[in-house]
């Protein structure tokens, strides 16, 4: 067997808006040089800063990381179209931003947003609607840039200078800089996986604030976990692990990935391949402190393979097959709230492996089956969704 287990983002993991401190309130201002532009059948409404604080929003409240920014207000203002200044009335509507890249004009039943002027006889209204695609997000220094290239917006127009009717070819293009405050103090805002607390529950299960959850972790930097054999020790500079439990359980299956540059007895030239094998952690019904065991699960006719070479010559090969009931795990809850995590300690022994004798000076001997494999180290598992 080899190094440790942890878990990383996978298909269960989504993204959302995260503040450094909660509760947080998010506000946004159009980016200078990239003002919102609303394009319709006969032209475009340019809502730049020369026309006020158009489409500046405020009051998007976050109690924790989440997939939606829903402002409580968005400013009225003025926009220019056909060389004429139009008054833009939001009428209680605002743009609502979703992590999946869609935008709503809401809340449902709001408005409609209207563009009016006494100079140009055409009135345009935009009602509430949902699921408009075309948003993207960029993490900047302590804030998020929201980019809109939205198409398919529904609007209605009437007047002697425009053809009356309802259309679905409206577009919104522009960008906002979104910042978060907590307790009146500016705090960082970012877009990405939503931190989700994971912990060992009183029912002796690995639990989380929400499911499905992606759990990720790695061995401590500069302090690699150690696989011990009769020939010596194997260490890798990095090792990452991932799993996606869909519900609280005493059992956790993890996939592992080991970097290149592993060393045997301090000499480089070792590779470690999982070949589809996974680790399965079992939490015992006792604690805290919580203890447990580990299994190695492999596809048919597959094994974990560790190969040690020097100057292209194989000095030793170890294969580790499926096995169960390896004792020596501990589980410790750390942190609080969405930053709760589980530190897994490894002091495993009795690992079964097969050793294949290599060639030349410094090879391992003899070939055979062994049951004295060990694994020591630790990893902290954290969750995202």
pLDDT digits (tens, 9 = 90+) for 91-150: 999 999 999 999 999 999 999 999 999 888 899 999 999 999 999 999 999 999 999 999
Give me the pLDDT at residue 289, please. 87
Give the separation between CA 113 and CA 76, rounded to whole angstroms.
9
Span 24-40, average pLDDT: 90
Band the pLDDT of 3: cuts 50, 70, 90. very low
Whether residue 126 contacts residue 154, with contact meaning beta carbons closer than 8 Å, is answered with yes
State phi, psi for 322 to the nearest 5 degrees: -60, 140
Give me the pLDDT at residue 7, please. 28
Give me the pLDDT at residue 243, please. 97
Give me the pLDDT at residue 63, please. 94
Residue 198 vs residue 13, higher pLDDT? 198
Percentage of the chain beyond pLDDT 90 is 81
* pLDDT surpassing 50 at residue 8: no
3-state class of 100 per DSSP? coil
Give me the pLDDT at residue 195, please. 92
Whether residue 261 contacts residue 289, with contact meaning beta carbons closer than 8 Å, is answered with no
Alpha helices for the chain (secondary structure H): none
List Cβ neighbours of 258 (8 Å cut-off, separation of 6 or more): 2, 3, 236, 238, 239, 272, 273, 274
Count how many residues are written for the chain: 385
Q: Is 159 left (phi over 0), alpha (psi -120 to 50) or beta?
A: left
* pLDDT surpassing 70 at residue 237: yes
Residue with tokens 């032209």: 43
Q: List the single range of 3-7, 226-230, 241-245 with lowest mean pLDDT.
A: 3-7
Band the pLDDT of 348: cuts 50, 70, 90. very high
pTM: predicted TM-score of the whole model, two decimal places: 0.76
Span 163-190, average pLDDT: 95
* pLDDT surpassing 90 at residue 80: no
Nearest Cα to 67, choosing from 14, 140, 25?
14
Q: List the single range of 104-108, 218-222, 228-232, 358-362 with lowest mean pLDDT.
A: 218-222
Whether residue 358 contacts residue 316, with contact meaning beta carbons closer than 8 Å, is answered with yes
Structure token digits, residue 211: 């499911």
Give me the pLDDT at residue 49, please. 52
3-state class of 80 per DSSP? strand
Angle, vertex CA 5, rays to CA 192 and CA 254, nearest 5: 75
């Amino acid at each position: 067997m080899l190094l440790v287990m942890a878990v990383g983002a996978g298909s269960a993991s989504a993204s959302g808006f995260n503040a450094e401190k909660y509760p947080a309130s998010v506000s946004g201002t159009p980016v200078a040089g990239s003002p919102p532009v609303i394009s319709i059948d006969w032209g475009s409404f340019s809502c730049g800063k020369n026309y006020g604080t158009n489409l500046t929003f405020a009051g998007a409240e976050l109690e924790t990381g989440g997939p939606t920014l829903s402002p409580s207000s968005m400013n009225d203002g003025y926009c220019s179209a056909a060389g004429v200044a139009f008054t833009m009335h939001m009428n209680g509507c605002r743009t609502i931003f979703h992590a999946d890249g869609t935008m709503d004009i809401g809340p449902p039943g709001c408005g409609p947003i209207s563009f009016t002027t006494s100079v140009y006889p055409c009135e345009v209204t935009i009602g509430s609607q949902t699921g408009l695609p075309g948003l993207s997000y960029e993490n900047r220094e302590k804030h998020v840039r929201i980019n809109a290239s939205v198409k398919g917006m529904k609007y209605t127009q009437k007047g002697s200078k425009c053809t009356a009717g309802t259309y679905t070819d409206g577009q919104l293009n522009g960008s906002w800089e979104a910042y978060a405050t907590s307790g009146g103090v500016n705090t960082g805002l970012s877009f990405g996986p939503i931190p989700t607390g994971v912990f060992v529950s009183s029912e002796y299960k690995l639990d989380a604030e929400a499911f499905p959850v992606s759990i990720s972790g790695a061995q401590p930097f500069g302090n690699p976990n150690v696989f011990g054999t009769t020939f010596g020790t194997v260490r890798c500079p990095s090792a990452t692990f991932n799993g996606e439990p869909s519900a609280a359980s005493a059992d956790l299956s993890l996939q592992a990935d080991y970097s290149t540059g592993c060393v045997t007895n301090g000499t480089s030239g070792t590779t470690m391949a999982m070949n589809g094998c996974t680790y399965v952690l079992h939490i015992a019904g006792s604690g805290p402190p919580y203890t447990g065991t580990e299994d190695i699960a492999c596809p048919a006719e597959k094994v974990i393979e560790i190969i040690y070479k020097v100057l292209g010559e194989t000095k030793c090969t170890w294969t580790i097959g499926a096995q169960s009931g390896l004792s020596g795990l501990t589980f410790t809850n750390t942190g609080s709230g969405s930053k709760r995590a589980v530190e897994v300690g490894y002091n495993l022994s009795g690992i079964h492996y097969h050793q294949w004798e290599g060639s030349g000076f410094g090879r391992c001997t003899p070939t055979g089956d062994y049951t004295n494999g060990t694994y020591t180290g630790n990893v902290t598992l954290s969750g995202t969704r």
